[in-house]
Amino acid sequence: MVRAADKVDLLVVGSGAAGSVFAAEASAAGKQVVLLEAGPARTPDDLFSSQLWARRQKWGGAHVEEEGNHRVGHNFNAGWGTGGSTMHHYGVWPRLHENDFQTFTEYGRGLDWPFRYAELRPYYDRIQGAVGLSGDATQERWRPPGDAYPMPPVPVFGQGRLLAAGFARLDMHTAPLPLAINSVPYRGRPACLYDGWCDAGCPIGALGNAQTVFLASALKSGATVRNDATVTRLLTRKDGKRIEGVEYRTADGALHRQYADVVVLAAFTVQNARLLLASANSHHPRGLANSSGLVGRYLMTHPTVSLYGMFDEETQPGFGPTGGQLINQDGYDNKLGVKDAYGSFQWIIANAVKPNGLLGIANSRADIHGSELKPFLQRAVNHLGVMTLVAEDVPRAENRVELSDKRDAFGVPLARAVHNLDEPGAALVAHALQQGKAVLDAAGAREQWRGPQAGMHILGGTVMGVNPAKSVTNSYGQSHDIENLYIAGPGLFPGSGAVNPTFTIHALALRAVEQLLRNWP
Amino acid sequence: MEALQQRRSLLKGLLLAYPLISGALLLSPAQARLRKLPLTVLADEEAGDLESVIEALVPGSAEAGAVHFIDYQLAKPAADSLLMLKYLGVEQPHLTFYRGGLAALAQHSIARFGKRPSALPALKLDHLIADLIADETPGWSGPPASFLYFVWRSDGIDVTYGSEEGMAMLNTPYMAHIRPEQPW
């Protein structure tokens, strides 16, 4: 039995960064908005300061198969519950640079975005004002044009001071990390306590995420969130030219249909592509929005490695934001600066770390066990310094999301995410790690080591562009094939840059929803 | 600031909830182990082997109740699990992973030392762990041995050092925004 609900104006699949912006703006404009969220209902009161309980914020839906020499790490990057991935994100919000937007034209690599930085700048500035960013734009010598941050930077603790000195001794620069974290009370939200529990979710609302800003705004304007609602298929009109709505399953297994004038798919990179491919029908035999054959293609992730140093000095590694205290992007604007490599990279410096957890102190030295473990931890909780590399990934069509032969509990094919890092990408990481080692030496680290290489953030798979034969959507995330279907989130990115994507996701969503409201299809 | 202090002191009951005829018995993993409460999904031999290996990897984890914690999490709905395995890309159910790993471990231990891990003296247990780390496990039929080492070591660290008491043992402040009444 199918339960059908009344048609609404706007149906948003996913309640995270992108979906919440669409919902907030559309509901404020008087549209009736429903958000379908696969994960459970959560509020800040459900967030506990614990690395164990933090895992509830991570993906809890259908299994994602992964292949390749550099996997995207879906379950670590994806969120679960109201607010999506923003509920465990660290709030590191640098902007893309001007040279990130036309990489094919300027470097012959990757894909061009359908616009340049100047087009996105006003949306960055407006999002920055709404969410509240802390930082010091004057110290970010590499920062593209933009308004000053509305809040001063977060404080720098012991490890940040030591690592900054290491950069300085190599004539490199650091600046306060731009963070969506309140350094002072801002728009009714309190200032951060610097207790280092960001990835467990911020229960006091100092960290800007969907629940504290745009989703809260949407709910005030009358939008509705339905939790435990797993979308299984997008429905098209009989002629295939418009989206009618979606089918979804609730926790009791019941099948529902929700109809809408406009559907926004904002279920994060892998699930967006999976749903489009799994919704194939006679009019769209390769999947919805897929006349280009590019749905799922150009999957990207930022290669990341954390470097660790043990210092004689007290470093206070448990204090401050999990995302870090400082940033370095000295070589960012020269993507051809390293022999045999291509791309930009940045360092985010002085991440707060706790003893346990995947990114915790103990797992930074997974080789230590038995009687040596406790003495190592006792030393490290007072003397560790951490800095994390974020490197660019070049979009390549062979890196992809595709459908598996296996199906989930609702009969929908699982997603398989295939991602390999090419040689220039690997060379970039190798170069950056040499630089990082030199920084730790210069900072006075008595010992140093590196963590494993992994994927940070997941991007691409539904890339936007000008040419319908070479992209899935236009510059607003509107499907080239189906005018009342919008796609939102980092899956739209035609290039990864080397910065954390959440700020850009918000800016793109704001630009898109304003276009949608001006041109309601 | 006063409201903030109130939030800091707000207690949350984060416990293993063992069902009783009426209500539930709320215990920490250490308390559950001390009371020898029955495990839900792991068999006795599996539990014995797992406790021996995790204790060797993370001293103190047996007393902290690592096996009761793991057993409890494995019995939960997959989306609610607090095990680190949740975000390491291993397909559910995770009991299959643990059970397959423990079977392979026991088989290797018996083939090499003539005894299950739970019956090995400390020195031979160290050799067994060295085999796991190096993936020197001929005929191994479970999840990769070195990956099991990583997961079990992480589980032990979670239970031993991922709580206020655990961090106190390291002489570092926990600094909870929302302090767990008990760690689990």
What is the interface size between A and B, counted as CB pairs within 8 Å? 147
Please check whether residue B61 touches A, CB under 8 A: no
Whether residue A375 contacts residue A361, with contact meaning beta carbons closer than 8 Å, is answered with: no
Alpha helices in A315-444 (DSSP H): 361-364, 373-383, 423-443
Distance from CA of residue A323 to its chain's centroid?
13
Please check whether residue B95 touches A, CB under 8 A: no
Report if residue B135 sits inside a domain: yes
Q: Cα–Cα distance between A501 and A272 in angstroms, integer?
A: 17
pLDDT confidence of residue B156: 97
Q: Cα–Cα distance between A260 and A245 in angstroms, integer?
A: 5
pLDDT digits (tens, 9 = 90+) for A321-356: 999 999 999 999 999 999 999 999 999 999 999 999
pLDDT digits (tens, 9 = 90+) for A176-225: 999 999 999 999 999 999 999 998 889 899 999 999 999 999 999 999 99
B131: chain A residues, CB-CB within 8 Å: none
Q: Cα–Cα distance between A39 and A28 in angstroms, integer?
A: 25
For the ranges A11-20, B15-24, B38-47, B121-130, which has the lowest average pLDDT? B15-24
B176 to A195: CB separation less than 8 angstroms, yes or no: yes
Please check whether residue B88 touches A, CB under 8 A: yes
pLDDT confidence of residue B180: 56
Mutate to test the interface with A, among B6, B175, B179 (most CBs of A within 10 A): B175
Please check whether residue B165 touches A, CB under 8 A: no
Please check whether residue B166 touches A, CB under 8 A: yes
Who wins on pLDDT, A484 or B14?
A484
Distance from CA of residue A356 to its chain's centroid?
23
Averaged pLDDT, A61-72: 97
pLDDT confidence of residue B27: 85
Q: Which of residues 141-160 of B touch A (CB under 8 A)?
A: 150, 153-154, 157-158
Nearest CA in chain B to A65: B89
The CA–CA distances, whole Å, from A304 to A218, A336, A389, A428, A499 equal: 34, 19, 5, 11, 11
A39 to B183: CB separation less than 8 angstroms, yes or no: no
Report if residue B176 sits inside a domain: no
Alpha helices in A291-422 (DSSP H): 361-364, 373-383
Nearest CA in chain B to A71: B89
Whether residue A70 contacts residue A303, with contact meaning beta carbons closer than 8 Å, is answered with: yes
Among A61, A64, A355, select the one facing B162 at the smallest CB separation: A355
pLDDT confidence of residue B181: 53
Report if residue B25 sits inside a domain: yes
Who wins on pLDDT, A45 or A24?
A24
Report if residue B118 sits inside a domain: yes
In angstroms, what separates the C-alpha of B132 from chain A's closest C-alpha? 12
Q: Cα–Cα distance between A215 and A389 in angstroms, integer?
A: 31
Structurally, how many domains does chain B consist of? Answer: 1
Please check whether residue B64 touches A, CB under 8 A: no
Reply yes or no on whether the pLDDT at A93 is more than 90: yes
Please check whether residue B76 touches A, CB under 8 A: no
Contacts of B118 (CB under 8 A, 6+ apart): B45, B48, B49, B51, B52
Q: Cα–Cα distance between A164 and A160 in angstroms, integer?
A: 6
Alpha helices in A255-401 (DSSP H): 269-278, 361-364, 373-383
A63: chain B residues, CB-CB within 8 Å: 91-92
B177: chain A residues, CB-CB within 8 Å: 47, 49, 193, 195, 197, 202-204
A53: chain B residues, CB-CB within 8 Å: 14, 82, 180
Among B12, B89, B177, select the one facing A75 at the smallest CB separation: B89
Report if residue B104 sits inside a domain: yes
B4 to A47: CB separation less than 8 angstroms, yes or no: no
pLDDT confidence of residue B3: 43
A382 to B7: CB separation less than 8 angstroms, yes or no: no
B87 to A48: CB separation less than 8 angstroms, yes or no: no
Report if residue B184 sits inside a domain: no
With CA atoms as reference, report the closest residue to B56 among B108, B131, B107: B131
Report if residue B120 sits inside a domain: yes
Contacts of A2 (CB under 8 A, 6+ apart): A247, A255, A256, A257
Nearest CA in chain A to B93: A63
In angstroms, what separates the C-alpha of B17 from chain A's closest C-alpha? 15
Q: Cα–Cα distance between B9 and B1 in angstroms, integer?
A: 12
pLDDT-based confidence at residue A231 (cuts at 50, 70, 90)? very high
Averaged pLDDT, B130-138: 97
Q: Cα–Cα distance between A486 and A468 in angstroms, integer?
A: 14
pTM, 2 dp:
0.96
Averaged pLDDT, A147-166: 98
B158 to A39: CB separation less than 8 angstroms, yes or no: no
pLDDT confidence of residue B52: 98
A73 to B7: CB separation less than 8 angstroms, yes or no: no
* Average pLDDT taken over every residue of chain A: 97
- Tokens 């085999």 locate to B131
Give the range of the structural domain holding residue B116, as residue numbers without chain letter.
2-169
Among B58, B158, B177, select the one facing A52 at the smallest CB separation: B158
Contacts of A223 (CB under 8 A, 6+ apart): A23, A24, A26, A27, A33, A34, A35
Strands A224-226 and A33-36: parallel
pLDDT digits (tens, 9 = 90+) for A495-518: 999 999 999 999 999 999 999 999
A367: chain B residues, CB-CB within 8 Å: 133
Mutate to test the interface with A, among B161, B179, B181 (most CBs of A within 10 A): B161
ipTM: 0.94
Report if residue B175 sits inside a domain: no
B89 to A362: CB separation less than 8 angstroms, yes or no: no
Whether residue B179 contacts residue B167, with contact meaning beta carbons closer than 8 Å, is answered with: no
Reply yes or no on whether the pLDDT at B168 is more than 80: yes
Reply yes or no on whether the pLDDT at B5 is more than 50: no
B162 to A76: CB separation less than 8 angstroms, yes or no: no
Would you give the DSSP letter of residue A105? H
